Amino acid sequence: MSPELARNLLLLILLIAGIGLVLRWPGSRRRRIAQRARHAVTRVGASQKTEAPLRPENVRQAFAQRFALLGEQVPMLDAMQRTQLAQKLTRAGFRDRRAVSILVGCKLSAGTLLGLGGIALGPHLPVFGKYFIFRVLLLLAAFMLGMMIPEIVLNSRIKGRQRAISSALPDALDLLVICTNAGNSLVVGLKRVARELKNICPPLSDEIGVTADELQIGGDSAVALRNMAERIGLPSVRGLVSTLIQSQRYGTPITQSLRQLSRTERMAQMTALEEKAAKLATKITLPMMFFILPTVGLISAGPAVIRLIEVFK
């Protein structure tokens, strides 16, 4: 190594060390406090990074961040479609601000994976695999199917969540009636109901808890109640919200109205169960014809057929 190159490297090292000392020098009390805060955050981040591979939540968050970055980089939906997706995600229980971007990233990833699968399997299909246009159509169909799968799963989750909320709503109304009869305010009653339903119906408990927090923070109570109705998307919840808004606006007691709503919801559930029971006989006809009837015929006519075969042999 030449002396000039050695001097240049030494100067570079000294310059970097000097910049580091200047940046790390605690010149004032505020800078020392900021430095301690940065060191504390760095230690916490390092401990979280060391524990990240051991926790499934951290792995899930890492995948969610990757999907969110992918969805934000690819503007594939307009504002109206993103608003509709945000409403669906809210009804499914996803209230994160990047939930739409995560869903878009999932759609793109699923479409790409199924498209690659279609490219790999296309040439191996019999008869049609040798045609290029068929492979292109298979690629497009696989990509579109992959784009549709996340929304299908999301719609299924929304229906399951709404079903669970609808089944637990009469109990929640009964608990709210008890709380109002005990002299509690609406906010205290909603918090108590959310706490009691936490293990019975977590989706309804979550929605009631969010509404109670919005009411406690302040602002227009009617807006907070209507937000709950929009988040859940059930006619029964809209009726409950209308009753609560009217009682707050006109000062009428809500105990009798809530009790009537609870009775109506229970009657609606019983009617739905009776309807399902009435349809059961019609729905079970085809399974009986295809699975039970051939077995019964085989058991009843099988010995006679075997005896006839032995006689004519």
Q: What is the 3-state secondary structure (H, E, C) of 101-153?
A: HHHHHHHHHHHHHHHHHHHHHHHHCCCHHHCHHHHHHHHHHHHHHHHHHHHHH
Contact indicator for 103, 154 with CB cutoff of 8 Å:
yes
**Both tokens of residue 301?**
């006519």
Distance CA(251)–CA(222), nearest Å, equals 14
pLDDT digits (tens, 9 = 90+) for 23-34: 344 444 444 444
Distance CA(185)–CA(198), nearest Å, equals 20
**Both tokens of residue 116?**
């690659």
Q: CA-based Rg of the chain, rounded to a whole angstrom?
A: 32
Helix (H, G, I), strand (E, B) or coil at 129: helix
Q: How many C-beta neighbours within 10 Å does residue 261 have? A: 21
Contact indicator for 191, 212 with CB cutoff of 8 Å:
yes
pLDDT digits (tens, 9 = 90+) for 158-202: 999 999 998 888 888 889 888 888 888 888 888 999 999 988 899
**Geometric angle at alpha carbon 44, from 40 and 48, rounded to 5°:** 170
Return the higher-pLDDT residue of 67 and 102. Answer: 102
Own/partner contacts of 221-225, CB < 8 Å, gap of 24 or more, are: 221/186, 221/245, 221/248, 222/248, 222/249
Q: How many C-beta neighbours within 10 Å does residue 135 have? A: 18
Return the pLDDT at 76: 65
Any residues with CB less than 8 A from the CB of 46 and at least 6 apart, and which? none
Residue ranges per structural domain of the chain: 3-22+60-161, 163-268
Nearest to 258 by CA among 246, 274, 270: 246
Return the pLDDT at 27: 40
Can you give the pTM of this predicted structure?
A: 0.68
Side-chain half-sphere CA neighbours of 239 within 13 A? 15
**Both tokens of residue 215?**
């009411």
- Which spans in 74-98 are helix H? 79-91
pLDDT digits (tens, 9 = 90+) for 269-312: 888 888 888 888 888 888 888 888 888 888 888 888 888 888 88
Residue 35: burial class (beta carbons within 10 Å; 0-12, 13-18, 19+)? middle
The pLDDT of residue 11 is above 70: no
Return the pLDDT at 47: 43
Nearest to 236 by CA among 167, 174, 159: 167
Which residue type sits at 117?
G
pLDDT digits (tens, 9 = 90+) for 241-257: 888 888 878 777 778 77
Return the pLDDT at 159: 93
C-alpha distance from residue 249 to each of 181, 219, 245, 303 (Å): 19, 14, 6, 79
C-alpha distance from residue 204 to each of 152, 168, 306 (Å): 22, 8, 62
Return the pLDDT at 63: 67
